[in-house]
Amino acid sequence: MNKFKLWLEQTMMISFAILVGVIIEGAFFSLFGGNPLYEFNMDWLQMVSIVLTGAVCSLPTIIWLTDTDIPKNKFIVRMVLHCIGLYAIVSLFGWLFKWYTQLDGFVFMTVIYFAVYAFTWIVTLWFHKREDSQINKALDDIRDEE
């Protein structure tokens, strides 16, 4: 798969998942009380920060996880490093862009992060499985014509 296409795909999925996470966090704290000073607002800076975070988080995927011709145990180590690295990026960007301001917001963001991480991998695997099926079907069609 083209690395640029993979980067765009990952950026879109991660950005969408972060957007959903930030909206869930804002809705949760707005509806259930939380801090009375907490005000949820989604301005252009928040939107830019979400896309920027998605783009930056896509880079480790390209660097660490595109080589699939490695032993399974090394791939698992890379996955763990990938997860920790992305968690550090998201935590840093969340702090910089004020996605959370207190410990409870950070804990909630951590839970959302791991949900986003799982969602992104599930969707990525689904896309790749679908693409593989399309390629196999095309190959079968070519074989049938011969």
Supply the pTM of this predicted model.
0.69
Tokens of 42: 């989604």
Note the pLDDT tens digit of each residue in 115-144: 878 887 788 788 888 888 888 888 888 877
Return the pLDDT at 146.
Answer: 65
How many residues are recorded in the chain?
146
d(CA 57, CA 59): 6
Q: What is the pLDDT of residue 63?
A: 76
